[in-house]
Amino acid sequence: MNARAASPLLNIVLVRPEIPQNSGSIARLAAATNTRLHLVGPLGYSLEDRYLKRAGLDYWPLVDLRTYAGWDEFAAEHRDPQFRYFSARAERTYLDASYGPGDFLVFGSETKGLGAEFLAARTDSSYRVPIFEPGVRSLNLANAVSIVVYEALRQLGALSGA
């Protein structure tokens, strides 16, 4: 897995991801958009998982991947960046966010999200992808990440000429 030295335009952060296929799909998105992928543990799978590898196809060498044992380790390494948190429970939508170069787009696990207590301290920087059917609790993690990443890239002007 690749560890590029240059600062990425965006950073995707998955906190305690549980489903290897989602992380593999998000890794492919990260490779396609030159976005750094941060996996914050504990992970619900091994990085050697065959489903993770399969979902990422042969793009793993293009993924700028960073891993952390837990949130404290991640937060200690990234003290000053601009964080945007995403949850199905947030008040504002991802379209209300103003994205900047180097932003960290933070998503929680598939079953627990980021947690109510965690988000309560971060309401000013928390967003959701709207869901119109009340019977649907949340979107697939890989889909939500894709929606947000491409909106951020659009706002940053990275899609013109792509």
pLDDT digits (tens, 9 = 90+) for 4-55: 557 889 999 999 999 999 999 999 999 999 999 999 999 998 888 676 777 6
Q: Is 15 helix (H, G, I), strand (E, B) or coil?
A: strand
Checking if the pLDDT of 57 tops 70, the result is: no
pLDDT at position 83: 97
Checking if the pLDDT of 159 tops 70, the result is: yes
Taking only Cα atoms into account, the Rg of the chain, rounded to an integer number of angstroms, comes to 15
pLDDT at position 4: 53
Instruction: Return the DSSP state at 6.
Output: S
Mean pLDDT of 119-141: 95
Alpha carbon distance 140, 148 (integer Å): 13
The domains located in the chain, with CATH, are 10-155 (3.40.1280.10)
**Mean pLDDT, all residues of the chain:** 91
pLDDT at position 26: 95
Checking if the pLDDT of 141 tops 70, the result is: yes
Torsion of CA 117, 120, 126, 127, to 10 degrees: 80
The pairing of strands 103-107 and 10-15 is parallel
**How far, in Å, are 17, 53, 68 from residue 85 at the CA level?**
15, 26, 18
Alpha carbon distance 145, 142 (integer Å): 5
pLDDT at position 55: 64
Q: Is the pTM value of this prediction over 0.85? A: yes
Kindly write down the DSSP assignment for every residue of 37-106, as one continuous string: EEEESS-SS-TT-HHHHHHHGGGGGG-BEEEESSHHHHHHH-SSSPEEEE-TT-SEEGGG----TTEEEE
